Amino acid sequence: MKTPRLPLALQLAVMRCLRDKLAQANLKLGRTYPEPKMVYRQRGTSAGTAWLDAYEIRLNPVLMMENQQAFIDEVVPHELAHLLVWKHFGRVAPHGKEWKWMMEEVLGVPARRTHQFQLESVRRNTFPYRCTCQQHQLTVRRHNRVVRGEATYRCVKCGEPLVAE
């Protein structure tokens, strides 16, 4: 799938959200954390990722175009919170108590680990796996790691290992 050209208005809305939330965090934390670099090249089913060492946020342009306001309201603060937690606390659990605190108390956003966006447009070849409570779709990369014996994945709901169907 070709990456869509992002309208300037959407990019400006992303930056406005980022700057507002960063200013809010700096005020509440009594710090002056810098503005991270924004990159619109995240691929796959991830809405965004925070790259700690590079101090940058990578956003998925396809999911952003399909879920504009929800994306801005949820994904931008989510990834910013990862960077702020890293600056404020150092390396800790990615969605641990520090991140939850940063999301809810500092940024004023519900702390959800995963997005609920429709993924049909970004899902390429996936492989069906099952746990005791539901079916999962693993990406080619994860499926190949299971096949090579390099990884085992578990359901976040029931904790059981995923098994190929």
Q: Which pLDDT score is estimated for 2?
A: 53
SS3 content of the chain, % helix, strand, coil (to 5): 40, 15, 45
Q: What is the pLDDT along the chain (165 residues), one digit of tens a residue?
A: 455 688 999 999 999 999 999 999 999 999 999 999 999 998 877 889 999 999 999 999 988 989 999 999 999 999 999 999 999 999 999 999 999 999 999 999 999 887 777 776 776 677 889 999 999 988 888 899 999 999 999 998 899 999 998
Question: Per the residue annotation, which of 56, 79, 104, 165 is the catalytic one?
Answer: 79
Q: Distance (Å, rounded) from C-alpha 9 to C-alpha 101?
A: 31
Percent of the chain, pLDDT > 70? 95
Q: Which residue carries 């796996």 as its tokens?
A: 129
Sheet strand arrangement including 163-164: 135-139, 126-130, 163-164
Q: Is 79 a catalytic residue?
A: yes
CATH superfamily, domain at 8-106: Metalloproteases ("zincins"), catalytic domain (3.30.2010.10)
Q: Which two tokens stand for residue 29?
A: 């934390």
State pLDDT tens for residues 31-76: 999 999 999 998 877 889 999 999 999 999 988 989 999 999 999 9
Q: Domain locations in the chain?
A: 8-106, 126-164
- Beta-carbon contacts of 69 under 8 Å, excluding residues fewer than 6 positions away, are none
